[in-house]
Structure 1
């Protein structure tokens, strides 16, 4: 449990001594490198709330409870084999003040303006971290969401913004973690990500060429099909290091683990970036879910 005293201390620090957040970032014990040189990486994702995506499994407001989210994050980050965390400034700063980020790589989420379910959802403006702040805080890189809809002209501005962010991060020698999808709309106007082999391969191809250099670019992509031949076809479109995203919470966690296990066998895959599937598993046991994911690596 996170105690009332711990939560009050976070709020008091924010109210009276906000400069201590930057001080905590500078005092953080950093890992030797952003990514594990010998083993594959497991990065815990917690950037969903800032986009209004609060659902986890059958619970539409699960991630709205900040105390519970922070508790689950602290449990996950303390498990052996977890190498990093991905989040927005509010979440990462809470974790800094809790002392939970020592010896973990940290990636700042950059574009959260495409709010889930909004008419402007594809207008993924950069409303979170920028490359300068990520560098100033001593973090390891930035993550951006790139949804490409050939029938929505707002895609062009998102492409340009992501390309600029890739270039800015590279100039700071920081990792650019790009999460690309081909997006489409239903007749009712609801946005969905096309996870077919053709669409995923196209998204990977486009994302690989963003920016003035790809030297610091990593991809964050979904597991396609059962993680086997279909996934190999998608991964064949790039030589960039790739991390697998966890996706929605599944009622059949064993099937999810099997898909991850097969996909992790591909030579360009370096690990997992997982949020809700590990933070809100069906049985509620965060430590167990994280340990299983570590075992898959």
Structure 2
């Protein structure tokens, strides 16, 4: 897999599609490797005329790890945030946005369509705020604004996400990963067991690094409310969200669209916090259509 030095760290990435086609940068979410973007979706976007680039965020997958760097505990961070104080964290979502911008620079790409999922959507919000000159369009997928008044994550989804597996045995890790995927996944489009096991096993074998998500979570909590930043975003924006998302409720997507001037919103019934095969064409059409409408 190709690797690049971006923003001073090593970032691993993959590309698909014609290298002369308009670039599209995919930013994945909390604790997730680039492989969580389904190959079928990447292929669908490439077939619609884009050079699709996906990468491992810092501290996950095959990218740079911040070994030994401590993040404050969730309880402490939440308390400080409620008091209006910014906890000191190893790095911020803005830093992670700079990673993506640095990757484009290293690849010699002046402008790209930016697509972020979940935490990747939050990173993408910072990307278009900090690097608007590099952005052709923005698409956020099941993401949110950090507005503290929005409905919270469902308890079972949060528990699944922050609970660590009982051991590092591969079988245990795979079962745990499948449990998380089922808990936050789409009630209207459940993933077939064999496919879910195959993808989870491949993910575990590619990389298992539980320390990274701890620092990812600290960056999310410390980031706070982004609505003040979003009101100044001028990049054409599409917001995609599932109406049955237990991890980031649909109100997060609605708030994102309401906070960015001119943003368009598309919600899908039965869709949760994953990228089901059944929705690949619908999502690819929406993302590609938005990008093509904002090609310059």
Question: How high is the TM-score relative to the length of structure 2?
Answer: 0.36
Higher fraction of helix: 2
Question: How high is the TM-score relative to the length of structure 1?
Answer: 0.35
Greater length-normalized contact order (CA 8 Å, ≥ 6 residues apart): 2
